[in-house]
Structure 1
Amino acid sequence: MNQIANELSTEKVSSLLLKQSIPASIGILVMSINMIVDTIFVGQWIGVLAIAAITVVLPIGFLISSIGMAIGIGGSSVISLALGADKVEKAKKVFGNQISLTTLSSLILVTLCLVFEEYVLRLFGANGNILEPALPYFRVIIIGVPFLAYAMMGNPIIRALGKPTYAMIALILPAVANIILDIIFIKALGWGMFGAGLATSIAYAVCGLFILGFLLSKKSNLKIGLSYLKLEKSIVSEISSLGSITLVRQGTVSVLTIILNYSLFKYGNESSVAVFGIINRLMMFIFFPVFGIVQGFLPIAGYNYGAELYDRVKDVLNTANKYGTILCVFIFIAVYFLNYEMTAVFTNDEELLKQTPNAILTTLLATPFIAFQLVGASYFQAVGKAKPALILTLLRQSIFLIPFIIVLPMFFGLDGIWFSFPISDLLATVVTYVYVKKEISLLKN
């Protein structure tokens, strides 16, 4: 623990941010490549409807596993603050409670999804001809979701412990496994959507088991006994307070997915749902370095805030915003010039090649400005301030984006859906700037 404390509290902020962010970025890159390759294989070897089916099913799995993410991010913030205040025993209790909460919640939700599978799929937009390929994919992938929940729970803890390389490996292993298994199950064995789902489900298990194995080993400094698994009301409350931000965000994403898929089907067709599936995969891929900066920023800000080193907190916030904005400008330039080529990687379907490039460009028009939004919202979560973190998280994906997706297509059709994204991003960035500026002015060493 002393080595971690020395690094997080004394090392040059720019170097420390890169040290934390680069492994996170590489891990996210590999994970996003995995998602892209998965979609490419499905699109090229099965068809357009298969892309639409994946677009419908994956948000269901991520909603369930997001409980693990919420528990992980909320708990990792508590752990960072506890380690900053030299409260190691509390950090261990928090970790034990995280394991118990993740196990109970994910198993209950997976069971409900299996019992009401067709209803759940239709709710998330499996309309028209999408339901048929979605069913076999859903049935097998949902079994692996508890492992994904463990992975999402554990990865933020690994970063909070100052072990970003292990967090990176945890994302690389399942990505490699999924790509290899996709080739075997879909191409070689011809198992179609079942094979695609089985490959992803096994990959989730690889990731979840690796992360749990690491955290329960001596390497993590959080090795615990069975007594730490007993839920404590005060710790659960603290985890929930901060984790609810992530859970509400992911829940909002699910509501957004439902509304978005219905709107895309209403104002377009099954192909329009597939268009957004491609855009969604691309966004995960092209923004990987920015997401990496945000992930690297969290433990540094949380630890130094807990240690009351507020100048370092301001420094890492400014540095993360600067690096993130520079990256976003380069990302937008690439999108502007290469949107057609990006689409052609996924499919040779004429309808998708016609719709997707313009939709990509329109959706990502506000890219140069969104780094501040992402880092700013994460700041409040890192320092344990749940209310402003929740408000800023909801701005884009609920308060702004959902109403725009409902209203704008009434006047502009399918284009109205795509323009909803940059408008929401710009508004959310302005509000985030106001919040963060006010908060930083109150920090004094």
Structure 2
Amino acid sequence: MAKVSAEQLGSEPIGQLLVKQAVPASIGILVMSLNILVDSIFVGNWIGSVAIAAINVVLPVSFFIGALGMAIGIGGSSIISRALGADNHAKAVKTFGNQITLTLLLTISMVALGLYFVDSLIPAFGGKGAIFGPAKIYYVIVLYGIPFLALCMMGNTVIRAEGKPKFAMIAMIIPSVGNLLMDYIFIYLFDWGMHGAAWATTIGYILCFSYILYFFRSKNSELKLTPRCFVLDFPIIKEIGSLGFVTLSRQATTSVVYLLMNNILFGLGGEAMVAVYAIIGRMLMFALFPVFGVTQGFLPIAGYNYGAQKYQRVRESINKAILYASVLATAVFIGLFLFPSEIASLFLSSKEGLPESELAINAFVLEHTPTAMRWVFAATPIIALQLIGAAYFQAIGKAVPALLLTLTRQGFFFIPLILILPNFLGELGVWISFAIADVLATVVTGFYLRREIRTTLSPATS
């Protein structure tokens, strides 16, 4: 696979460049998503459906802390892409050093708090009844590996900002393969149960961190750090924070959604209903990998060319990214609409001798998941506009519109909907909230993106 240098981001044809950036990103996201998917299948078949629900309870807490690294990474990478486009290498290197310092300070502090409040956080996120015990086991072990995850998320976005998507792809593949291998050893062979699932995940994070450290210490990276780069610089920190806050807000909102969904669904159907949402959540992470890949590939292209004031190329990258992502999203929609029952059955144990309670949960999940999945993904064909539009404002350093558009779907529409509709429609009200929020958020994003193109990116300003 051909390498892409930072300079090529401003010179190669956009379509060709987008494919070079998006394909490795998509493959990396695919493998990472497959890891989450297969990990859930292993856990469901080898431990039980309650274990899947337990992991679903832990994810929003661990991912929020890990997302601090992603937020710092995306915020800083926007600066790095524009600095490289403007031929300001010193600022790019200084930004990277500050990203590392910030990530370590914030994530270690958050892990300490997360461990201290463990018995309060797990029930708050829906870890009640039979779910609490396995959720606590998984949570405590995985939290020790979260600083490594945060550094991986941060480093991966910087690698992509340098125009090295192949290495970013490998960094995403390594922990996934490592986790699945450890799953087989720890859960299936050693029969460690939730302990095994947690240690497999944590070891995967450490393997990823080791590879990213190798990349930045090798000749493949253009960002060579000196000790002075790690000293926090307030203007850079402020810019990283304003842009990274967009990503962090999105993840914080996602964590709030998990909290509300797990509690609302537990009230509607107990552990079994939470297990349905756990399967839906895995498919939300997995099925949209090509769309997320195009979005990730689009970010450095838009940021670099905006920094170089090549606005015609920015416009072209927006149009082609939306087109490519829309085609892929439609293909995903068709597959999920046609085969929801088959997908749900993959997560459930079919071995003989299951307890009656487990058999009852499996039957409930198989009955309720297909309808839920179809409603959740009903608006998938149009979400490309929403994702690319929000990503554009983040790529060019416009933090306020990026933040507002990022929060539009879940914060402004989805959360109010799931608080209101289930009171009138029950379970159905939960699932149709996904589609309604997607449609409304896409309309709002399309309006603001069109206005931005007509003003900042019009031919007259190119």
TM-score computed with the length of structure 2 as normaliser = 0.95
What residue in structure 2 maps to residue 215 of structure 1? 216
TM superposition shift of 1:212? 2.7
**Cα offsets for 1:76-116 (capped at 9, x unmatched):** 00000100100000000000000000001010011111111
Q: Indicate conservation of the 8 Å contact 1:45/1:186, yes or no.
A: yes
Matches within 5 A, 1:51-66: 51-66=52-67
Matches within 5 A, 1:73-88: 73-88=74-89
What residue in structure 1 maps to residue 260 of structure 2? 259
1:6 aligns with 2:7: yes
What residue in structure 2 maps to residue 416 of structure 1? 429
Distance 2:75 2:13 in 1: 26
Name the amino acid aligned to 2:267: K
Name the amino acid aligned to 2:322: N
Distance 2:260 2:74 in 1: 27
1:401 aligns with 2:401: no
Distance 2:104 2:422 in 1: 41
Distance 1:286 1:257 in 2: 18
**Cα offsets for 1:260-311 (capped at 9, x unmatched):** 1111111221111111111111122111111000000000000000000000
Q: Indicate conservation of the 8 Å contact 1:147/1:209, yes or no.
A: no
Distance 2:227 2:428 in 1: 55
TM superposition shift of 1:209? 2.3
1:44 aligns with 2:41: no
**Cα offsets for 1:229-271 (capped at 9, x unmatched):** 0001111001001001001111111111111111111122111
Name the amino acid aligned to 2:286: F
Structure 2 unaligned residues grouped into runs of 5+:
350-361
Q: Indicate conservation of the 8 Å contact 2:186/2:192, yes or no.
A: yes
What residue in structure 1 maps to residue 358 of structure 2? none
What residue in structure 1 maps to residue 352 of structure 2? none
What residue in structure 2 maps to residue 161 of structure 1? 162
Matches within 5 A, 1:267-416: 267-348=268-349, 349-416=362-429
What residue in structure 2 maps to residue 236 of structure 1? 237
Q: SS of the counterpart of 1:269?
A: helix
Distance 2:364 2:274 in 1: 12
Matches within 5 A, 1:153-232: 153-232=154-233
Q: Indicate conservation of the 8 Å contact 2:306/2:314, yes or no.
A: yes
Relative to 1, partners in 2 of residues 1:273 and 1:74: Cα closer, same or farther, differing over 3 Å? same
Distance 2:266 2:285 in 1: 23
Q: SS of the counterpart of 1:21?
A: helix
**Cα offsets for 1:49-83 (capped at 9, x unmatched):** 10100000111110001110000000000000100
1:247 aligns with 2:248: yes
TM superposition shift of 1:216? 3.4
Q: Indicate conservation of the 8 Å contact 2:7/2:85, yes or no.
A: no
Q: SS of the counterpart of 1:11?
A: coil
1:18 aligns with 2:19: yes
Relative to 1, partners in 2 of residues 1:398 and 1:283: Cα closer, same or farther, differing over 3 Å? same
Relative to 1, partners in 2 of residues 1:269 and 1:299: Cα closer, same or farther, differing over 3 Å? same
Q: SS of the counterpart of 2:397?
A: coil
Distance 1:217 1:410 in 2: 57
TM-score computed with the length of structure 1 as normaliser = 0.98
Aligned pair partner of 1:431 in 444, 452, 461: 444
Structure 1 unaligned residues grouped into runs of 5+:
none
Name the amino acid aligned to 1:375: I
Distance 1:58 1:257 in 2: 9
Name the amino acid aligned to 2:210: L
**Cα offsets for 1:401-428 (capped at 9, x unmatched):** 0010110000000111011100000000
Distance 2:368 2:134 in 1: 22
Q: SS of the counterpart of 1:31?
A: helix
Distance 1:61 1:183 in 2: 22
TM superposition shift of 1:227? 1.4
Q: Over aligned residue pairs, what C-alpha RMSD do you find?
A: 1.1
Distance 1:329 1:111 in 2: 43
1:91 aligns with 2:92: yes
Q: SS of the counterpart of 2:220?
A: helix
TM superposition shift of 1:331? 1.1
Q: Indicate conservation of the 8 Å contact 1:55/1:277, yes or no.
A: yes
Distance 2:230 2:214 in 1: 16
TM superposition shift of 1:5? 4.1
Q: Indicate conservation of the 8 Å contact 2:21/2:297, yes or no.
A: yes
TM superposition shift of 1:18? 0.2
Name the amino acid aligned to 1:146: P
Range 116-125 or range 29-38, more displaced: 116-125
Q: SS of the counterpart of 1:4?
A: coil
Distance 2:171 2:365 in 1: 34
Distance 2:45 2:84 in 1: 48
Q: SS of the counterpart of 1:220?
A: coil
Q: SS of the counterpart of 1:347?
A: coil
Q: Indicate conservation of the 8 Å contact 2:64/2:252, yes or no.
A: yes
TM superposition shift of 1:213? 2.6
